[in-house]
Amino acid sequence: MSIAVKNISKRFDSHPALSDVSLDIQEGELIALLGPSGSGKTTLLRVIAGLEFPDAHDGRILFHGRDVSGLSAYQRKAGFVFQHYALFNHMNVFENIAFSFRVLKRSQRPSESVIQDRIDGLLRAVQLEGYEKRLPTQLSGGQRQRVAFARALANKPEVLLLDEPFGALDAKVRKDLRRWLREFHDSTQLTTIFVTHDQDEAFEVADRVVLIDKGGIQQTGTPAQVREHPANDFVADFLGL
Amino acid sequence: MRKRHVLPGFGLSLGYTLVYMGLIVLIPMSALCLRTFAGSWGHFWQTITDPRVLASFQVSFGLSLLAALLNGVFGVMAAWVLARYHFPGRRILDAMVDLPFALPTAVAGIALTAIYAPNEWIGGLLEPYGIRIAFTRLGIFIALTFIGFPFVVRTVQPVILQLSAELEEAAACLGASRWQTFRRVIFPALLPSILTGVTLAYGRAVGEFGSVVFIAGNIPYETEITPLLIITKLEQYDYPGAAALGFLMLCVSLVILIISNGLQAWNNSRNGTV
């Protein structure tokens, strides 16, 4: 699904988090929002997700050309993965992933065997077969994040939004998960946006990188473009060029 | 070989701790047990199966349970409001929760009697409808609710504060309504702390004396609580009888403590904190 962000501004109290941000994302792209902490990259992701609402000017969010500005995160069909997993600790892995089915009305809910098949498939996709009965507290950080991925993918979102998905993980696991994400994206072509402050991560995984600082987009381009032609001092400085 | 510790003074501080706990906690408890079983089993059994004593058990344990359950509902609600919303006067309200903790229990008893007695404010309002609060079991129930309230609020409130907003956002992203989010995500996360709070409130209410005796009226078989019976027996120089009741209450307290600790361990294991 293509995503268009048009003239979005967002203030927290008096502090501007985003000022007049516009961004176009093509269907099937894998995009990294890259910037230092406090730059507004997470706010932009949350505004796209519908977890945060922009200040009421003329800012709009379009999914596939359709205005979704007034819709909730769920209505936007966006899968969201949180930095600290946000797993439900009292539910086992299976029930965590099945959550989006459990909250459906009985008339809309798929049968138990359909849910079982779907979750088996997801567990295979995130390489966690056999972990259905474990509680989140019995898993490592990387495993928890993969459960969070599976949960976000369960009701077939049309866009996947990841907030620092590898931020809380150690280096080795981070590398593996990065590669996994790239392969997963290549096989599904699901439009994906992820936030990171790690340029290696952004450049290794993303099709296009969006550099953000002080609530504004500083440069957008492929990793090669950005590296070879930094648009301004911030980009050059941040990338250490 | 002696084990070396990074922190010095382990032996000394442990020694003091053991002596202190022995003097303050263990010796009085064991004295109570000795006292209880100094008399004959027959006397012990006779004491605790006396109909008047059994009636007092019913009052003490039954009403304490009801009061703790009521606090389980409204204490959680208060904890939620105090933790989640910011409104003028919140800090004052928050401080007021501790009043039943801080107040001498006799003061609480007089205060409650002062408004619930038949010729006072609330008591007077209800009297024409035939509802009597002071000197009935309802009065005891209100007093026990009053003193148990902070236990529930203060155990649940920090857990609500710790719940990350991400959990609710995640549930919303997955299609849960506000009610489903509460029922399926928030409530199960709070449940262990609610049970702990209710258990603590129950334990406190079972042993409560000061705030209850004034409002209870202390009518035998009707509104007499077990701690009062202990006093009565002491006044009648029936020391073994008083000790027998005391021993029984000690056992109940121990059971409550064990349940409470078990619940906390369960809570910790589920939430990943050790």
Same domain, B18 and B53: no
Structure tokens at B191: 């449940």
Q: According to the model, what pLDDT value does residue A168 have?
A: 78
Q: Which residues pair with A217 in a beta bridge?
A: A212
Chain B contacts in chain A segment 56-75 (CB below 8 A):
72-74
Tokens of A233: 């001092």
Is the same domain home to B30 and B45?
A: no
Q: Both B69 and B159 in a single domain?
A: yes
Confidence category of residue B161, pLDDT binned at 50, 70, 90? very high
* B140 and B13 both lie in a single domain: no
Q: Mark whether B176 and B217 lie in a shared domain.
A: yes
CA-closest candidate to residue B76, choices B181, B179, B167, B192: B192
The answer to whether residue B269 neighbours chain A at the CB level (below 8 Å) is: yes
**B31-50 per-position pLDDT tens digit:** 888 888 777 888 888 888 89
Give the integer Cα–Cα distance in Å for B146 and B250. 23
Across the interface, which of A72, A82, A104 has its CB nearest the CB of B170?
A82
Could you tell me if A180 and A129 are in contact, meaning their C-beta atoms sit under 8 angstroms apart?
A: no
B27 and B69 housed in the same domain: no
CA distance A102 to chain B (A): 9
* B18 and B130 inside one domain: no
Residues 187-206 of chain A with CB under 8 A from chain B are none
The domains found in chain A, sorted by start residue, are 1-77+189-241 (3.40.50.300)
Q: Which of A51, A52, A160 to mutate to test the interface with B (most CBs of B within 10 A)?
A: A51
Q: Based on the number of CB atoms within 10 Å of its own CB, is A43 exposed (0-12), middle (13-18) or buried (19 or more)?
A: buried
- The contacts of residue A68 (CB under 8 Å, 6+ apart) are A50, A61, A62, A75, A76
Q: Are residues B18 and B60 in the same domain?
A: no
The pTM score is 0.81
One-letter amino acid of B44: F
Give the total number of structural domains in chain B.
2
CA distance A233 to chain B (A): 35
Contact B173 A152 (CB under 8 A): yes
C-alpha neighbours within 13 Å on the C-beta side of residue B162:
11
Same domain, B11 and B137: no
- Please state, in angstroms and rounded to a whole number, the distance separating the CA atoms of residues B225 and A68: 64
Q: Alpha helix (H) ranges present in chain A?
A: 41-49, 93-102, 112-125, 141-153, 171-188, 199-205, 223-228, 233-239
Of all residues in chain A, the percent with pLDDT exceeding 90 is: 72
The DSSP call for residue A138 is: G
Going by the DSSP 8-state scheme, the letter that residue B110 receives in this structure is H
- Long-range CB pairs of A125-130, under 8 A, 24+ apart, other chains included: A125/A150, A125/A153, A125/A184, A126/A150, A126/A180, A127/A180, A128/A93
Count the neighbouring beta carbons within 10 Å of the beta carbon of residue A219.
Answer: 21
Q: Distance between the two ends of chain A, CA-based, in angstroms? A: 34
Over residues A130-177, the pLDDT tens digits come to: 999 999 999 999 999 999 999 999 989 999 999 999 887 888 889 989
Q: What is the CATH number of the domain that holds B53?
A: 1.10.3720.10
Q: Per the structure block, which two tokens stand in for B194?
A: 């609610």
> Are both B143 and B254 inside the same structural domain?
yes
Instruction: Give residue B273's pLDDT band: very low, low, confident or very high (50, 70, 90).
Output: very low
| Mutation to test the B interface, candidates A99, A119, A122, A161, most B Cβ within 10 Å | A99
Q: Which residues pair with A210 in a beta bridge?
A: A33, A220
Mean pLDDT of A5-34: 90
Q: What is the mean pLDDT of residues B97-105?
A: 89
| Nearest CA distance, B94 vs chain A (angstrom) | 26
ipTM for the whole predicted complex goes beyond 0.85: yes
> Does residue B20 share a domain with residue B139?
no
Per the structure, the complete domain to which residue B4 belongs is given by: 1-38
**Cα Rg of chain B, angstroms:** 23
Asked whether the beta carbons of residue A78 and residue B184 sit closer than 8 angstroms, the reply is: no
CA distance B113 to A142: 60
pLDDT band at A29 (very low <50, low <70, confident <90, very high): very high
Which residues of chain A neighbour B190 with C-beta distances below 8 Å? none
Tell me, letter by letter, the H, E, C secondary structure of A223-240: HHHHHHCCCCHHHHHHHC
Same domain, B90 and B116: yes
